[in-house]
Amino acid sequence: MEREIAEKRNEEVEGQDLVSLILPSSAEYVMLARLVAGQVGRLAGFEPEDVYDLKLAVTEAVTNVIRHAAVDTYEVEYRVVGRSVEVTVTDTGGGFQRADLTGQPDEQGGFGLTVIENLVDDLVLDSKGDGTRMKMVRRARDPGGQQA
């Protein structure tokens, strides 16, 4: 079964660079997720400002998992696709309903998803009772600021 899963994964990402981390749900590992995001952004040809935005989006995403998912570990996958980066953060927590989020800061937080949406080009969020999967896509911009 594990071999079938590995083979399926290889087929899905053929021709793309893939880095996958399974991290403990602890603040001490946020910097690791952030460092890998920075390097992957550089591999995709990002300008420094784009690298910074990608790192901040990943920081927000993994911090949300640590604060809200109540899991021991979570996975972060990074893919370089041409001059873009796809980052998928997956946890097995209880999930949430996006409609329940107020977008206003409170003791639980409140701005994380809004910040992420403003930092990436595409965001796909799938959250159910068996976990949450967030896929973020950031495309490189040319030095003049136009999206590639």
What DSSP line would sit under 32-68, residue for residue?
HHHHHHHHHHHHTT--HHHHHHHHHHHHHHHHHHHHH
Please give the chain's pLDDT, 148 residues, in tens. 444 444 545 445 445 779 999 999 999 999 999 999 999 999 999 999 999 999 999 999 999 999 999 999 999 999 999 999 999 999 999 877 665 555 555 555 557 888 999 999 999 999 887 899 999 999 998 766 566 5
Asked: is 2-139 a CATH 2.70.98.10 domain? The reply is: no
- Alpha carbon distance 140, 61 (integer Å): 20
List, in order, residues 6 or more apart from 45 with CB less than 8 Å away.
83, 140, 148
Tell me if 84 sits within 8 A of 139, measured CB to CB: yes
Domain boundaries, the chain: 2-139
Task: For residues 31 and 29, give the distance between their C-alpha atoms in angstroms, rounded to a whole number.
Answer: 5
